[in-house]
């Protein structure tokens, strides 16, 4: 690790709703890399999705409930305070400015995201600002060019990433959890029970506020 600069993990997403796959992924990175802190960053508006199923305020509160008493997990809500689509590179520019030039930043994503990277705004600038930590996802497609070459060219060990501020891609293997927010929303919409896929306090919050129920 760069001397005097504690590495930070960063996991962005809609969290619509947050589920145990998100939390297990964040904790896997926390534990594998020995991080003191992994921040979950809820998007105000995902550039690749039409809209979120529930409001930013609900998604933020569900996140807060989900990580209460979980050591090392926090929330960075800056994207909720920014108008327009939430571009990851803009968030990383701001965090890099705050963290300084030498702090290792670790942007976490699932391998299922890789095929969509060419549709991201300035995706090829991410490694100028942070490392990427890839978590295996079930059924993820192998990325095509130019992402496949980008991935192969920048693979590094976790130890290397912790000694440098940015520029590497770390692959972490974890138990594969076939869970997605869209699947959970579908369970709610079809009257089925998604308990055990989301934290109990989040389940209770959803029930209290009548979230993810089909419109009458």
Fold adopted by 8-208 = Rossmann fold (3.40.50)
> What's the CA gap between 141 and 112, in Å, rounded?
6
Domain range summary for the chain, segments of one domain joined by +: 8-208
Question: 109: which 2 tokens?
Answer: 């994503």
d(C-alpha 180, C-alpha 64), whole Å? 19
Task: Give the integer Cα–Cα distance in Å for 170 and 175.
Answer: 16
Q: Give the C-alpha separation, 106 to 130, whole Å.
A: 6
CA distance 165 to 169: 12
Q: From the centroid of its chain, how far is CA 184? A: 17
* pLDDT tens by residue, 158-212: 999 999 999 999 999 877 678 999 999 999 999 999 999 999 999 999 999 999 9
Whole-structure pTM value: 0.92
The number of helices, as runs of H, and strands, as runs of E, in the chain is: 8, 6
Mean pLDDT taken over the chain: 92
pLDDT tens-digit readout, 34-65:
999 999 999 988 766 667 889 999 999 999 99
Query: Cα–chain-centroid distance for residue 64?
Result: 15
- Give the separation between CA 54 and CA 212, rounded to whole angstroms: 7
Local structure of 176: helix, strand or coil: coil
Give CA angle at 10 (144, 203), nearest 5°: 100
Pull the structure tokens for residue 163.
């000694």
Q: How far is CA 37 from CA 9, 84, 191, in A?
A: 6, 27, 37
What tokens appear for 74 in the block?
């926090």
């Amino acid at each position: 690790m760069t001397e005097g600069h504690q590495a930070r993990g960063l996991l962005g997403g809609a969290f619509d709703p947050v589920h145990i796959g998100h939390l297990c992924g964040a904790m896997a990175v926390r534990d594998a890399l020995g991080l003191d802190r992994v921040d979950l960053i809820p998007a105000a508006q995902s550039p690749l999705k039409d809209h979120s199923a529930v409001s930013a305020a609900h998604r933020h509160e569900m996140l807060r409930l989900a990580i209460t008493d979980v050591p090392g997990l926090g929330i960075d809500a800056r994207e909720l305070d920014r108008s327009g689509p939430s571009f990851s590179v803009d968030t990383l520019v701001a965090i890099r400015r705050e963290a300084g030039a030498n702090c290792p930043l670790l942007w976490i994503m699932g391998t299922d995201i890789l095929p969509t990277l060419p549709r991201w705004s300035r995706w090829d600038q991410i490694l100028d600002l942070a490392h990427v930590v890839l978590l295996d996802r079930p059924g993820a497609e192998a990325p095509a060019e130019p992402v496949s070459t980008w991935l192969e060219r920048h693979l590094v060990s976790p130890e290397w990433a912790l000694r440098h501020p940015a520029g590497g891609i770390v692959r972490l293997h974890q138990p594969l959890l076939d869970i997605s927010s869209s699947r959970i929303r579908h369970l709610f919409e079809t009257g089925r029970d998604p308990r055990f896929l989301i934290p109990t306090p989040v389940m209770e919050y959803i029930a209290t506020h009548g979230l993810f129920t089909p419109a009458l």
